[in-house]
Amino acid sequence: MKRPPRTGARLRAGAVPYLFLAPAMALFVAFFAVPIGYTLYLGTRGTKVSGLGLGKGSRREVSVGFDNYQATLTDHEFWAGWLRVLGYGVVVLTVMLGLAVLFALLLDSAHARLKRVSRIAIFLPYAVPGVVASLLWGFLYLPSLSPIHAVLHWFGLQANLFDPDVVMFSMANIAVWGGTGFNMLVLYTHLRSISPEYYEAARLDGASEFQIATRIKLPMLVPSLILTTVFSIIATSQVFTEPMTLRPISNTISSTWSPLMMVFTQAFKNLDLYSAAATSIVIAAISLVLSFGFLRVVRKRAFSEES
């Protein structure tokens, strides 16, 4: 009869998974948990000024409790920035994910040609850094340099792509141009993992390619589409590169156009790291609420359909 392992051997065997997890956990604590904790701490601090604030020791760090968080939550400009970002996000998510689904379905079609070249061409803008893409499109938006305006003039049209009512769509165009390829690749990879037997059975039943795409492929894409939507919600709620890069070119983008630009202004222009820390924590919390709120809505809808 085989003897059971000793207690010490069992403990050593149980410790093996934790040894493999230790490096990842150490990195998580050092570069994620600790910075977040320190940012939370900074958000509860402030500067107390004595006298004119010119002499040595006239400025000192003190605890202010949740005053910085309250100031952020009651700041009209902060919520105005969120409204702009929400409008921007609706445009970006709708167009970008719609194009990603369309391109993925077209590339996965049985009649598609030059698939490899098309995949590279669609994905290539994602490889361009965000700052470079913003500068590229920013110069294309300038009337004196842009072929876009030349084409519009040829049709007898005029448009100011930096107009306050249009600039949000100009920035959304940059995000769509850069992000569609990545989302398309995720969705296309999911489509390639689906067994072709489903499609063969549908064709034997007389289904067209359009019916296969809408009745078989699209329902199976839902998990990947949910994943890409969550990632896109997080990315668009933290938009910074496009408005910050275009701001020197246009005078219609304020220094607090987006919440993250407000953090940048507080930290590096107003030199108020404490308010910037509190604002960044609030932004992270709102991003989490939006992401998990979307997942909750999707889960409730899935449960209701199953029942």
| Nearest-angstrom CA–CA distance, 35 and 135 | 31
Cβ-contact 242, 130 below 8 angstroms? yes
Cβ-contact 151, 74 below 8 angstroms? no
Residue type, 272: D
Domain assignment present for residue 228? The answer is: yes
**Angular region, 141: left φ>0, alpha ψ -120 to 50, beta rest:** alpha
Domain assignment present for residue 63? The answer is: no
| Nearest-angstrom CA–CA distance, 41 and 274 | 9
Residue type, 246: L
| pLDDT tens string 206-260 | 888 888 888 888 989 988 999 899 999 999 998 999 999 999 888 889 989 999 9
Domain assignment present for residue 82? The answer is: yes
The CATH number covering residue 136 comes to 1.10.3720.10
Domain assignment present for residue 10? The answer is: no
Domain assignment present for residue 225? The answer is: yes
Domain that includes residue 142, residue range: 75-306
CA distances from 280 to 62, 237, 254 (A): 20, 12, 18
How many domains in the chain?
1
Domain assignment present for residue 236? The answer is: yes
Neighbours of 127 (CB within 10 A): 11
| Nearest-angstrom CA–CA distance, 193 and 89 | 30
| pLDDT, one tens digit for every residue, the chain (307 residues) | 455 555 666 666 677 788 888 899 999 999 989 999 999 999 998 887 766 555 566 677 778 889 999 999 999 999 999 999 999 999 999 999 999 999 999 998 877 778 888 888 999 999 999 999 999 999 888 887 778 878 878 887 777 888 888 899 999 999 999 999 999 999 999 998 888 888 888 888 888 888 888 888 898 998 899 989 999 999 999 899 999 999 988 888 998 999 999 999 999 998 899 999 999 999 999 999 998 888 888 887 766 666 5
Cβ-contact 256, 75 below 8 angstroms? no
